[in-house]
Amino acid sequence: MKLSDIYALLKPVKRRINSIVCKAILAGLRTDSDFPLCKVKLSKEESLENVELLMPYGFFSLPSNDAQLLILNKNGDKAQSVIIMASDVQGKPENVDVEDSGLYNRNGTHILLKGNDVFIKCSGTVNVNDGNLTVEN
Protein backbone atom coordinates (compact mmCIF):
# COMPACT_ATOMS: atom_id res chain seq x y z
CA MET A 1 0.00 0.00 0.00
CA LYS A 2 1.36 3.39 -1.01
CA LEU A 3 1.22 6.55 1.07
CA SER A 4 -1.23 8.04 -1.45
CA ASP A 5 -3.55 5.08 -0.83
CA ILE A 6 -3.48 5.75 2.91
CA TYR A 7 -4.29 9.43 2.30
CA ALA A 8 -7.20 8.38 0.07
CA LEU A 9 -8.51 6.04 2.79
CA LEU A 10 -8.25 8.77 5.45
CA LYS A 11 -9.93 11.47 3.34
CA PRO A 12 -13.48 10.66 4.59
CA VAL A 13 -12.24 10.65 8.19
CA LYS A 14 -10.58 14.04 7.70
CA ARG A 15 -13.75 15.42 6.09
CA ARG A 16 -15.83 14.11 9.02
CA ILE A 17 -13.51 15.65 11.62
CA ASN A 18 -13.51 18.97 9.76
CA SER A 19 -17.32 18.95 9.74
CA ILE A 20 -17.49 18.38 13.53
CA VAL A 21 -15.19 21.20 14.62
CA CYS A 22 -14.74 24.43 12.67
CA LYS A 23 -13.71 28.07 13.00
CA ALA A 24 -16.01 30.99 12.30
CA ILE A 25 -16.38 34.75 12.81
CA LEU A 26 -19.06 36.36 14.99
CA ALA A 27 -21.44 38.44 12.86
CA GLY A 28 -24.12 39.25 15.45
CA LEU A 29 -25.24 38.54 19.01
CA ARG A 30 -28.70 38.36 20.60
CA THR A 31 -29.17 38.36 24.37
CA ASP A 32 -32.98 38.37 24.51
CA SER A 33 -33.25 34.67 25.42
CA ASP A 34 -32.03 32.50 28.31
CA PHE A 35 -28.65 32.13 26.62
CA PRO A 36 -26.78 34.18 24.01
CA LEU A 37 -27.59 33.35 20.38
CA CYS A 38 -25.15 34.25 17.65
CA LYS A 39 -25.03 34.76 13.93
CA VAL A 40 -21.76 33.32 12.65
CA LYS A 41 -19.92 33.52 9.32
CA LEU A 42 -18.41 30.18 8.34
CA SER A 43 -17.21 31.57 5.01
CA LYS A 44 -18.06 34.44 2.65
CA GLU A 45 -20.99 32.43 1.32
CA GLU A 46 -22.14 30.50 4.39
CA SER A 47 -23.52 31.67 7.74
CA LEU A 48 -25.56 30.21 10.58
CA GLU A 49 -28.23 31.90 12.71
CA ASN A 50 -29.17 31.33 16.37
CA VAL A 51 -26.06 29.39 17.36
CA GLU A 52 -25.85 29.03 21.14
CA LEU A 53 -22.78 30.48 22.87
CA LEU A 54 -21.75 28.16 25.72
CA MET A 55 -20.09 29.74 28.75
CA PRO A 56 -18.34 28.07 31.68
CA TYR A 57 -20.40 27.92 34.89
CA GLY A 58 -20.08 31.11 36.94
CA PHE A 59 -18.43 33.07 34.12
CA PHE A 60 -19.83 35.23 31.36
CA SER A 61 -18.26 36.96 28.42
CA LEU A 62 -20.14 38.37 25.46
CA PRO A 63 -17.75 38.78 22.53
CA SER A 64 -17.84 41.64 20.04
CA ASN A 65 -18.53 41.23 16.34
CA ASP A 66 -15.56 39.87 14.40
CA ALA A 67 -14.42 37.71 17.34
CA GLN A 68 -12.99 34.37 16.26
CA LEU A 69 -15.13 31.38 17.25
CA LEU A 70 -14.60 27.67 17.64
CA ILE A 71 -17.78 25.77 16.81
CA LEU A 72 -18.75 22.20 17.60
CA ASN A 73 -21.28 20.59 15.25
CA LYS A 74 -22.99 17.59 16.84
CA ASN A 75 -22.53 14.61 14.52
CA GLY A 76 -21.25 17.04 11.89
CA ASP A 77 -24.72 18.61 11.64
CA LYS A 78 -24.47 22.41 11.37
CA ALA A 79 -28.10 22.70 12.48
CA GLN A 80 -26.93 21.44 15.91
CA SER A 81 -23.96 23.81 16.28
CA VAL A 82 -22.76 25.36 19.55
CA ILE A 83 -19.97 27.86 20.11
CA ILE A 84 -17.50 26.43 22.60
CA MET A 85 -14.98 29.28 22.57
CA ALA A 86 -14.63 32.89 21.47
CA SER A 87 -11.33 34.72 21.09
CA ASP A 88 -10.55 38.36 20.46
CA VAL A 89 -7.02 39.71 20.84
CA GLN A 90 -8.10 43.37 20.69
CA GLY A 91 -7.44 44.92 24.10
CA LYS A 92 -5.24 42.02 25.25
CA PRO A 93 -2.62 43.22 27.76
CA GLU A 94 0.94 43.52 26.51
CA ASN A 95 3.94 41.88 28.18
CA VAL A 96 2.06 38.69 28.99
CA ASP A 97 4.39 35.81 29.80
CA VAL A 98 4.01 32.05 30.05
CA GLU A 99 1.94 31.16 33.17
CA ASP A 100 0.38 34.67 33.42
CA SER A 101 -3.42 34.79 33.64
CA GLY A 102 -6.03 37.48 33.41
CA LEU A 103 -9.26 38.96 32.12
CA TYR A 104 -9.56 41.68 29.51
CA ASN A 105 -11.97 43.37 27.13
CA ARG A 106 -11.68 45.32 23.87
CA ASN A 107 -11.51 48.63 25.78
CA GLY A 108 -8.15 47.66 27.26
CA THR A 109 -9.53 47.21 30.77
CA HIS A 110 -7.83 44.21 32.32
CA ILE A 111 -6.85 42.30 35.43
CA LEU A 112 -3.49 40.62 35.00
CA LEU A 113 -2.07 37.99 37.36
CA LYS A 114 1.68 38.08 36.77
CA GLY A 115 3.89 36.00 39.05
CA ASN A 116 2.99 37.06 42.61
CA ASP A 117 1.52 40.38 41.48
CA VAL A 118 -1.95 41.54 40.39
CA PHE A 119 -2.30 44.47 37.97
CA ILE A 120 -5.60 46.23 37.30
CA LYS A 121 -5.89 48.66 34.37
CA CYS A 122 -9.10 50.63 34.07
CA SER A 123 -9.92 54.04 32.58
CA GLY A 124 -13.11 54.23 34.66
CA THR A 125 -14.01 53.41 38.25
CA VAL A 126 -13.12 50.25 40.17
CA ASN A 127 -16.10 49.36 42.39
CA VAL A 128 -15.93 46.91 45.29
CA ASN A 129 -19.36 46.24 46.77
CA ASP A 130 -18.67 44.63 50.13
CA GLY A 131 -19.51 45.62 53.69
CA ASN A 132 -15.91 45.10 54.78
CA LEU A 133 -12.94 45.55 52.50
CA THR A 134 -9.55 44.61 53.84
CA VAL A 135 -6.32 45.12 51.95
CA GLU A 136 -3.31 43.49 53.60
CA ASN A 137 0.33 43.94 52.84
pLDDT over 90 (residue 82): yes
* This model's pTM is above 0.85: no
Phi, psi for 107 (deg, rounded to 5): -75, -10
Mean pLDDT of the chain: 89
Instruction: Please list, residue by residue across 10-19, b when 16 or more beta carbons sit within 10 angstroms of its beta carbon and e when fewer do.
Output: eeeeeeeeee
The stretch 64-72 carries a mean pLDDT of 94
Whats the size of the chain, residue-wise? Answer: 137
Going from N- to C-terminal start, the domains of the chain cover: 3-87, 90-127
Helix (H) or strand (E) holding 13: helix 3-20
Question: What is the SS3 assignment for 117?
Answer: strand
Regarding the domain with residue range 3-87, which homologous superfamily does it belong to in the CATH classification?
Gp5 N-terminal domain (2.40.50.230)
